């Protein structure tokens, strides 16, 4: 396992174990398999685990796996899906979310606490109705005036080691946050060969994941690459029931040339997609969506295989799969 610097942290593994797979967001698993997957990940050198309350029971699995006693090198993240609470309530909402996550994971602090909401200006267009917008979108003014100071206070108080944002929202606003006077320590950014956020593309701008990664690097913000296999679209088969109209199914169909290329070289699409993400300039660690030991083992082999050959990467880029990210809504 290779190790890198991630924001303020030294010696972070190039692979991060994601909680969404353990929590059965990406297909089914079970308690024993999830616990065994955590054990294998730690034994292989993975030392960052990415959790969130929205990842169903993943925080409870983490609590059971370690019983409050993390190995010295292991670091944990969690998140808060803040949305747009009333003015003056942001700090208490963030702290309550953190308290709940810490209780479930049996921990006294986390290393990284991330905002799990879109950040947007008031005129940004979404495919959400007003109710869902209030649940999932944090206004830019809330972010600057309340979210940033609240995160900084939690860090100063030692309850978190660093803070960050999930950089899958409105690209222009994410870029603004990365250039703001007080920047996040970490950003989670889309890192796949399609440049696709899939079902998270709910806003009226084209995705700009590589611009976000570049801006993070220029401003000293660590990058956790997410969706390396685009929620299964860059694997051999989708492993959960989805409608044909679902964004991940559309991406799966669009990725047929990539699967054909992988068949031509007798390689697993998931392994090649992970190697591609690990090889993206500016991506520090890649978050895995694995839900079992078999999927984890494939990712570990991909990391050990190292960067893709230049000619293979050129063939993948030549497929043009990153060129067709249309906006699902028009700007208001």
Q: What DSSP assignment string belongs to 279-312?
A: TSTT--EEEE---SHHHHHHHHHHHHH-SPPHHH
* pLDDT for residue 315: 98
- Tens-digit pLDDT profile for residues 228-264: 999 999 999 998 899 999 999 999 999 999 999 999 9
Bridge partners, residue 186, by sequence: 164, 222
* pLDDT for residue 188: 98
* pLDDT for residue 294: 96
Q: How many CB atoms lie within 10 A of CB 189?
A: 30
Which alpha helices (DSSP H) does 18-139 contain, by range?
Answer: 19-22, 31-43, 58-66, 90-105, 130-136
Q: Does domain 3-318 have CATH number 3.30.450.40?
A: no
Bridge partners, residue 96, by sequence: none
Q: In the chain, where are the structural domains located?
A: 3-318
* pLDDT per residue rounded down to tens, the chain (332 residues): 999 999 999 999 999 999 999 998 888 889 999 999 999 999 999 999 999 999 999 999 999 999 999 998 999 999 999 999 999 999 999 999 999 999 999 999 999 999 999 999 988 989 888 888 999 999 999 999 999 999 999 999 999 999 999 999 899 999 999 999 999 999 999 999 999 999 999 999 999 999 999 999 999 999 999 999 999 999 999 988 999 999 999 999 999 999 999 999 999 999 999 999 999 999 999 999 999 999 999 999 999 999 999 999 999 999 999 986 655 654 43
- Tens-digit pLDDT profile for residues 41-70: 999 999 999 999 999 999 999 999 999 999
Nearest to 113 by CA among 171, 32, 59: 59
CA atoms within a 13 Å half-sphere pointing along the CA-CB vector of 192? 31
Per-residue CA distances from 181 to 119, 267, 305, 332 (Å): 16, 45, 39, 28
CA 103 to CA 108: how far, in whole Å? 8
The answer to whether the CB of 30 falls within 8 A of the CB of 58 is no
The answer to whether the CB of 325 falls within 8 A of the CB of 206 is yes
* pLDDT for residue 332: 38
* Averaged confidence pLDDT in the chain: 95
């Amino acid at each position: 396992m290779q190790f890198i610097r991630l924001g303020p942290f030294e010696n972070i593994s190039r692979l991060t174990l994601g909680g969404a797979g353990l929590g059965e967001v990406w297909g089914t698993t079970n308690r024993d398999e999830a616990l065994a997957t955590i054990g294998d990940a730690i034994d292989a050198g993975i030392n960052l685990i990415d959790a969130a309350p929205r990842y169903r029971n993943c925080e409870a699995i983490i609590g059971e796996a370690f019983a409050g006693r993390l190995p010295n090198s292991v670091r944990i993240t969690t998140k808060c899906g803040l949305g747009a609470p009333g003015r003056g309530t942001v700090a208490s909402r963030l702290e309550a979310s953190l308290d709940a996550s810490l209780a479930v994971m049996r921990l006294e602090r986390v290393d990284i606490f991330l905002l799990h909401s879109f950040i947007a200006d008031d005129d940004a267009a979404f495919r959400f109705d007003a109710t869902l917008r209030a649940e999932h979108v944090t206004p830019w003014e809330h972010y600057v005036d309340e979210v940033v100071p609240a995160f900084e206070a939690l860090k100063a108080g030692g309850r978190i080691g660093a803070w960050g944002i999930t950089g899958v929202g409105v690209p222009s606003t994410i870029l603004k946050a990365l250039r703001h006077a007080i920047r996040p320590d970490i950003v989670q950014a889309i890192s796949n060969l399609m440049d696709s956020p899939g079902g998270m593309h709910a806003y009226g701008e084209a995705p700009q994941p590589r611009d976000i990664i570049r801006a993070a690097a220029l401003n000293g913000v660590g990058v956790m690459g997410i969706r390396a296999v685009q929620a299964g679209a860059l694997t051999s088969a989708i492993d959960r029931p989805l409608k044909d109209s679902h964004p991940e199914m559309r991406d799966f169909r669009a990725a047929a040339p990539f699967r054909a290329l992988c068949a031509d070289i007798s390689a697993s699409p998931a392994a090649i997609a992970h190697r591609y993400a690990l090889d993206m300039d500016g991506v520090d660690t890649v978050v895995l969506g694995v839900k079992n030991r078999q999927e984890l083992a494939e990712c570990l082999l991909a990391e050990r295989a190292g960067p893709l050959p230049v000619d293979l990467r050129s063939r993948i880029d030549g497929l043009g799969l990153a060129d067709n990210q249309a906006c699902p809504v028009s700007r208001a």
